[in-house]
């Protein structure tokens, strides 16, 4: 499996809430490992791998396939396109950002940016509300209103870049990195002819950035016995609180939280040590802010663990992750499955 190529395909696809391109790409990649793959009514990608064992427990592996973005609210009389956020867009990164407006076809655009020479000295650091920031699509009003409608989605321009042999920069690594890690796990299991003691449901959920809606629906439908959510978390930068961050290249961040299953979490730590997989602890005093909660709340409850990939510059068009961490998450998941889940 070419992890970098898969990740580039995933990150280059648009997956703002309501767009289906990323889900279709993920479905195609998942089909190599699952006999059954579908996209449900909400847009979740769901694949099933049967163990062939009678009364086998069902393990769900989940990562979200959607991304932050925007939705068109208006086009003014000069042809500038105005938007509202879909998810937690960082307004600081928007001036001069390249985007794609998904109208009757994809159109390139640039968020307006006032040159510093034209700003009042006391207002240079002030940022407007996203809703007041226009996108220049190079059209007059008549043309823009013909090609682009209210409700059309806006995604960041694909910009996948290898900073070095391990460091990756791109939009939507949150959470295409998690999707790639699960695919890497499945590839390891397939290449080793592993015989899991469980059936496996793979879910690439939509609308995590809009309130973890996709995972809630998918978990209800799949009805797993146990689950592992894979997401991203904060990686250390010079301006960040080191106590709240992991480090790039140091392995998966194993989540500890009152909402997560303690026995599964301890099993993850034991297996990481047994298999010589580097890992980090991520301790959270409350909820995790991920799909793990919506999964664990499904039906009468699902025992759930959380693995996170360290990520710099989250919710910006230029997130940064480390290939080795993505691989390590995949390896840890594969070892967890090979160890057996029926005795958890």
What amino acid positions are annotated as catalytic residues? 208
- Phi, psi angle pair for 58, to nearest 5°: -110, 120
- Give buried/exposed letters for 225-236 (b at 16+ CB in 10 A, else e): bbbbbbbbbbbb
Please tell me whether residue 60 adopts helix, strand or coil conformation.
strand
Please tell me whether residue 116 adopts helix, strand or coil conformation.
helix
Q: How many CB atoms lie within 10 A of CB 317?
A: 22
Of 149, 167, 196, 157, nearest to 323 (Cα)? 167
- Phi, psi angle pair for 121, to nearest 5°: -55, -40
- The C-alpha atoms of residue 43 and residue 298 are separated, in whole angstroms, by 18
- The C-alpha atoms of residue 47 and residue 186 are separated, in whole angstroms, by 11
Find the distance separating the first CA and the last CA of the chain, reported in whole Å: 30
- The C-alpha atoms of residue 61 and residue 224 are separated, in whole angstroms, by 10
């Amino acid at each position: 499996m070419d992890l970098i190529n898969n990740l580039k395909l995933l990150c280059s696809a648009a997956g703002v809430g309501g767009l289906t391109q990323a889900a279709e790409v993920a479905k195609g990649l998942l089909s190599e490992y699952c006999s059954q793959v579908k996209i449900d009514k909400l847009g979740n990608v769901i694949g099933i791998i049967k163990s062939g064992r009678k009364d086998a427990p069902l393990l769900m592996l989940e990562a979200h396939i959607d991304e932050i973005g925007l939705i068109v609210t208006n086009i003014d009389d000069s042809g500038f396109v105005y938007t509202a956020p879909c998810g937690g867009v960082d307004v600081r990164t928007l001036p001069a950002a390249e985007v794609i407006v998904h109208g009757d076809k994809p159109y390139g655009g640039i968020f307006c940016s006032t040159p510093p020479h034209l700003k009042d000295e006391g207002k240079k650091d002030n940022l407007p509300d996203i809703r007041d920031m226009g996108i220049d699509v190079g059209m007059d009003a008549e043309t823009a209103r013909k090609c682009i409608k209210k409700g059309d989605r806006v995604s960041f321009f694909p910009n996948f870049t290898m900073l070095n042999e391990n460091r990756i920069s791109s939009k939507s690594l949150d959470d295409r990195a998690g999707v790639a890690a699960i695919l890497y796990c499945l590839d390891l299991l397939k290449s080793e002819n592993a015989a899991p003691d469980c059936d496996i449901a793979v879910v690439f959920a939509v609308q995590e950035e809009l309130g973890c809606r996709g995972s809630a629906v998918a978990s209800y439908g799949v009805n797993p016995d146990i689950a592992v959510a894979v997401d991203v978390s904060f990686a250390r930068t010079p301006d960040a609180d080191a106590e709240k961050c992991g480090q790039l290249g140091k392995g998966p961040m194993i989540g500890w939280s009152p909402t997560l299953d303690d026995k599964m979490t301890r099993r993850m730590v034991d297996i990481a040590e047994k298999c010589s997989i580097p890992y980090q602890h991520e301790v959270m005093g409350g909820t995790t802010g991920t799909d793990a909660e919506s999964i664990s709340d499904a039906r009468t409850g699902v025992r759930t663990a959380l693995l996170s990939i360290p990520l710099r510059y989250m919710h910006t068009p230029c997130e940064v992750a480390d290939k080795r961490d993505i691989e390590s998450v995949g390896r840890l998941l594969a070892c967890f499955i090979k160890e057996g889940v029926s005795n958890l």
